[in-house]
């Protein structure tokens, strides 16, 4: 049997491989958004496929580690964090595929995103994902905190975009289909940012032992 | 220290309490949909608040169990499944709140859902959640499999509803805002069904040791 430290390194490596694939899938989906290229969309699907396979392997490895090595303290926190991060990464892959799918639906190309805040939103979300992955890679709690702070800005852009896109439809019903797709693109980007936030919270948990989840919000969505 | 079997029972109890709160939150959000009652919407938010608190407690208990009791085999599978189910239940609570929020936005009441398939979709999703929770409660793999089978029907309704609601906007742009909210209600219901499916998969995993995740789909969304 490998030493505990080697097995933890293996687990870390698998999560990082998945995280890098998620970054590629997200970058690909943002390119599909910009150019509606079907070949690129298929590549996003291939990444998701690889991510799904890794998700199952990562869970197996984490469970084996729990069973055979009986870890405690920080090692145990790392393994339970890896189980959760694994699940977040898998969902981020799905959301990248959703963005690619929304972008290549046949009935409304080309889709002009440059008149929207989607490119800015995508840039911010890509930066959050990169920070979340790097905070995991280097156990960097300061970088993890930066991810948490960025989430509010993304939510604000999403809310503005929703309102603008609905008003756009009210002014011209022929854009209904494309604007609803763009609303879902914004929604998917915001969800990816939420999962990046979850990852940052998990990094804070295993590095610092802090649980920073859940702030109460009111029913109208304001904090 | 309590015996392992008592501690596992505690963990099971916490997950079931959360699951029951999620069922109440979902039932409440469906009532809000039907009658746009703000008081009921606030109750849904209270359920979510309780769910969030329980999520943190459940994770802590599961981590303690892993650290102090060093479980193996089926007990270990149960604990890792509980960690994942915990996370699914928390997200289901969020989605119930989203449904309640979409339903009480001030600018388009009353919202007539009886001309849509939302009531039928909601009934199916409520049944899936009930089956998923009961399959967990009684370690019933047959009931868990029933949840997996139901998911396709919910996806079909959602796709039909999306198309109808977008066509509705194209025919009459003044319904844009309410129809976009209804599209998100359908999306949230479908996501709740997905989480119920995840729970059923986790039940199959801890009862049978089966991993039934991930079936490849093509980029146009067809299986």
Contact predicate A92/A30, CB 8 Å: no
Cis amide linkage into residue A135, ω under 30° from 0: no
Q: Work out the average pLDDT over B130-143.
A: 96
Report the 3 state secondary structure along chain A: CCCHHHHHHHHHHHHHHHHHHHHHHHHHHHHHHHHCCHHHHHHHHHHHHHHHHHHHHHHHHHHHHHHHHCCCHHHHHHHHHHHHHHHHHHHHHHHHHHHHHHHHCHHHCCCCCCCCCHHHHHHHHHHHHHHHHHHHHCCCHHHHHHHHHHHHHHHHHHHHHHHHHHHHHHHCHHHHHHHHHHHHHHHHHHHHHHHHHHHHHHHHHHHHCCCCCCCCCCCCCCC
pLDDT score of A108: 56
Please give the C-alpha separations between residue A47 and each of A21, A23, B57, B173, B214, in angstroms, as whole numbers. Answer: 6, 10, 35, 38, 14
B 58-97 → A contacts, CB under 8 A: 59-60, 62-63, 66-67, 70-73, 76-77, 80, 83-84, 87, 97
Q: Work out the average pLDDT over B27-51.
A: 94
Q: Closest-CA residue in chain B for A71?
A: B67
Q: Is A127 on the interface with B (CB under 8 A)?
A: no
Single out the residue of B10, B188, B20 nearest to residue B89, CA to CA: B20
CB contact under 8 Å between B62 and A80, yes or no, is yes
Residue A149 burial by Cβ neighbours in a 10 Å radius (0-12, 13-18, 19+): exposed
Please give the C-alpha separations between residue B109 and each of A106, A152, B38, B105, in angstroms, as whole numbers. Answer: 34, 29, 12, 8
Considering only the C-alpha atoms of chain B, give the largest distance between any 2 of them, rounded to a whole number of Å: 66
Domain coordinates of chain B in residue numbers?
Answer: 4-208
Contacts of B49 in chain A (CB under 8 A): 216
Contact predicate A167/B174, CB 8 Å: no
Please tell me the distance from the alpha carbon of residue B196 to that of residue B151, in angstroms, as a whole number: 9
pLDDT score of A110: 64
Q: Is B175 on the interface with A (CB under 8 A)?
A: no
Q: Closest-CA residue in chain B for A69?
A: B70
Please write the tens of the pLDDT for every residue from A61-86: 999 999 888 888 889 999 999 999 99
Please write the tens of the pLDDT for every residue from B46-94: 999 999 999 999 999 999 999 888 888 889 999 999 999 999 999 999 9
Residue A70 burial by Cβ neighbours in a 10 Å radius (0-12, 13-18, 19+): middle
Please write the tens of the pLDDT for every residue from A36-64: 889 999 999 999 999 999 999 999 999 99
Q: Work out the average pLDDT over B143-149.
A: 96
pLDDT higher than 60, residue A223:
no
Of A67, A76, A180, Cβ closest to residue B67: A76
Single out the residue of B102, B67, B57, B80 nearest to residue B206, CA to CA: B80
B218/A174: higher pLDDT: A174
CB contact under 8 Å between A219 and B38, yes or no, is yes
Give the confidence band of B36 by pLDDT, cuts at 50, 70, 90.
confident
B197 Cβ contact partners less than 8 Å away, ≥ 6 residues apart:
B128, B132, B147, B148, B151
Contacts of A94 in chain B (CB under 8 A): none
Interface test with A, best of B67, B102, B191 (most A CBs within 10 A): B67
Please give the C-alpha separations between residue B38 and each of B42, B44, B108, in angstroms, as whole numbers. Answer: 6, 10, 14
Contact predicate B51/B16, CB 8 Å: no
CB contact under 8 Å between A63 and B77, yes or no, is yes
Contact predicate B168/B175, CB 8 Å: yes
pLDDT score of A210: 74
Domain A4-208 top-level CATH class: mainly alpha
CA B61 to chain A, closest CA, distance in angstroms equals 12
Please tell me the distance from the alpha carbon of residue B134 to that of residue B119, in angstroms, as a whole number: 22
Q: Is A185 on the interface with B (CB under 8 A)?
A: no
B146/A217: higher pLDDT: B146
The number of beta carbons lying within 10 Å of the beta carbon of residue B114 is: 7
Please write the tens of the pLDDT for every residue from A127-142: 999 999 999 999 999 9
Contacts of B77 in chain A (CB under 8 A): 63
pLDDT higher than 60, residue B1:
no
């Amino acid at each position: 049997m490998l030493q505990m430290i080697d097995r933890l390194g293996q687990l870390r490596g698998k999560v990082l491989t998945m995280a890098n694939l998620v970054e590629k899938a997200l970058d690909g989906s943002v390119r599909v958004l910009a150019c509606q290229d079907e070949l690129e969309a298929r590549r996003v699907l291939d990444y998701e496929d690889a991510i799904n396979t890794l998700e199952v392997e990562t869970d197996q490895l984490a469970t084996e580690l729990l069973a055979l090595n009986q870890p405690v303290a920080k090692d145990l926190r790392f393994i339970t964090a890896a189980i959760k991060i694994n699940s977040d990464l898998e969902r981020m892959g799905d959301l990248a595929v959703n963005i690619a799918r929304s972008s290549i639906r046949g009935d409304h190309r080309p889709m002009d995103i440059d008149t929207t805040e989607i490119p800015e939103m995508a840039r911010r979300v890509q930066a959050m994902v990169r920070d979340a992955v790097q905070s995991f890679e280097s156990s960097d709690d300061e970088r993890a905190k930066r991810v948490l702070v960025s989430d509010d800005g993304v939510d604000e852009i999403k809310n503005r975009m929703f309102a603008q896109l609905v008003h756009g439809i009210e002014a011209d019903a022929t854009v209904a289909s494309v604007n609803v797709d763009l609303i879902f693109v914004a929604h998917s980007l915001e969800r990816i940012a939420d999962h990046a936030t979850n990852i940052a919270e998990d990094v804070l948990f295993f590095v610092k032992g802090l649980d920073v989840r859940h702030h109460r919000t009111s029913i109208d969505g304001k904090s």
